[in-house]
Amino acid sequence: MSTTHGSTNVHDRAQHALTDDFLRQAVHFTTDRLRNKKQAVTGEFGNWEAWRERGQQIRQHTIANLDYYLDQFTRNLEAHGAHVHFAATADEAIHAVREIATAQNAKRVVKSKSMVTEEIHLNHHLEEMGMHVVETDLGEYIIQLAGETPSHIIIPAIHKNREQIRDLFEAAGGERLTTETRDLAAFARRTLRQAYLAADIGITGCNFGIAETGSIALFTNEGNADLVMNMPKTHIVFMGMERILPTMADLEVFAHLLPKSATGQNVITYMSVITGPRRQHETDGARDMHVIILDNGRSRQLGDPDFQAVLHCIRCGACLNVCPVYRQIGGHAYGSVYPGPIGAVLSPLLNNGDQYQDLPYASSLCGACYEACPVKIPLHDMLVRERQRFVASGRVKPTEKAAFQAFRQLFGKAGRYQTTIRIARRLQFPIAQDGYIRAKIGPLAGWTMSRDFPVLPKRTFRELWPELTRKGNGRG
């Protein structure tokens, strides 16, 4: 199977993914498990809608006052001895890392899972600087060995099975392994332990930055982030500028919302909150702590009523797990590091988002994403607004534009509409068979490639209406 298909448009990449039965089976299996667990755990927890409301309120308030909270967060971080770097672009973020690494003469890096580092292709840049990078989240480690990118926000190796994982581990370690979970996990544990001990820098993401205390909250199931941030001398935190919560009390709400939505876990296995680097009397923790806060297009959404809510996202991946399109094509077909409904909305909005302008069309607008979102982001509405923006940019196909101009003319008045139906009724004769059309002609081909299309009957409802009122007891 191939997972990195180089097409420049989502339609072609999706078509490629649709031929990959293994990928689709793997995605079905895992997303089913996640959404079933989520349903069970939220049902048991109770009042889920009220929790969503609360989550939405907190995120709305935070993002509406982001300048205030970012300032508070930064001042508190600095008071604890951490260094804060604001990066307007991916390049600035890479530059900040380079400066830190050069000053430390660092050679070895361990990382825990962070989507924002994927967004700026950090590993690639670190390797270009001559550094040895090891991903320590098991899923990320697997795709790093495979030379791929994550295909899910939470489950990066969702598209890999245990045979493929064994092969990757055998190639990396030069030893024979079975496909037993115990065997594979033991190999990863042995290998990664060495990496933690040898690393000069530990890089983590940040699930939430707590403004009132200047703390970083990290959620993992493997405890790897705790080793990444404590064992190396230097800890670098990467975060999108929107990942702020005002208070510890707010974190309590999200300690419920995030794991329940992401994996259907009642609580996360490891939730760690750190506040600044190691203090003098302390025996563990990194000696230096740097926090790199990335904009990369996020601040453009502030104040935009159409898209500000995209900054409410907490990266739980629940929208991917319920998305019927993601279910069929998996993550790589989106071409962006952020796949699924949130990826289709967010990717075109970030810097260099132009290459993802077609992602909002990879949706049937079913609204399952909105229903699953723990902070009620109206993703389905935002997908429509991105389409509007694309149409307004004038880059749509002339044939499509002409079709909708015709629609405006013909469906704008009842008389013209009736004439259109009458003409269509005549035109369909040569291609109709037994009351259905199967011919793959023009735009109809997208439909008839897999399903029959009913022919227009002899009379429309409006043509039948006079008879209905005569026989019935109503009046027209």
Q: How far is the CB of 60 from other proteins (least distance, A)?
A: 19
| From candidates 367, 428, 431, 439, binder to other proteins by CB under 8 A | 367
| From candidates 105, 280, 281, 449, binder to other proteins by CB under 8 A | 449
Q: How far is the CB of 361 from other proteins (least distance, A)?
A: 6
Provide the edge-to-edge strand list for the sheet that holds 436-437.
432-433, 436-437, 453-454
For residue 223, state whether it binds other proteins (rule: CB under 8 A): no
Interface mask (CB under 8 A) for other proteins, residues 322-361, using x and -? Answer: --xx-xxx-------------------------------x
- What is the size of the binding site for other proteins (CB under 8 A)? 69
Half-sphere exposure of 173 (CA within 13 A, CB side): 22
For residue 151, state whether it binds other proteins (rule: CB under 8 A): no
Give me the amino acid identity at 381: D
Residues 6+ away with beta carbon under 8 Å from 249: none
For residue 395, state whether it binds other proteins (rule: CB under 8 A): no
**Residues 194, 258: Cα–Cα separation, whole Å:** 31
For residue 460, state whether it binds other proteins (rule: CB under 8 A): yes
Considering only CA atoms, which of 302, 347, 333 is closest in space to residue 115? 347
Q: How far is the CB of 352 from other proteins (least distance, A)?
A: 22
DSSP state of 308: G
Continuous segment of H or E residues that includes residue 108: strand 108-111
Provide the edge-to-edge strand list for the sheet that holds 83-87.
83-87, 288-294, 234-240, 201-204, 108-111, 132-135
CB 258 within 8 A of CB 314: yes
Q: List beta partners, residue 133.
A: 109
Q: How far is the CB of 288 from other proteins (least distance, A)?
A: 48
Q: List beta partners, residue 292.
A: 85, 238
Interface mask (CB under 8 A) for other proteins, residues 298-327, using x and -? Answer: --------------------------xx-x
Closer of 99 and 452 to other proteins (Cβ): 452
Q: How far is the CB of 389 from other proteins (least distance, A)?
A: 7
Closer of 277 and 360 to other proteins (Cβ): 360
Percentages (nearest 5) of helix, strand, coil residues in the chain: 55, 10, 35
**What is the binding site for other proteins (CB under 8 A)?**
11, 14-15, 18, 24, 324-325, 327-329, 361-368, 370-371, 384, 386-392, 396, 400, 404-405, 407-408, 411-414, 417, 421, 424, 436, 438, 443-447, 449-454, 456-457, 459-462, 464-465, 468-469, 472-476
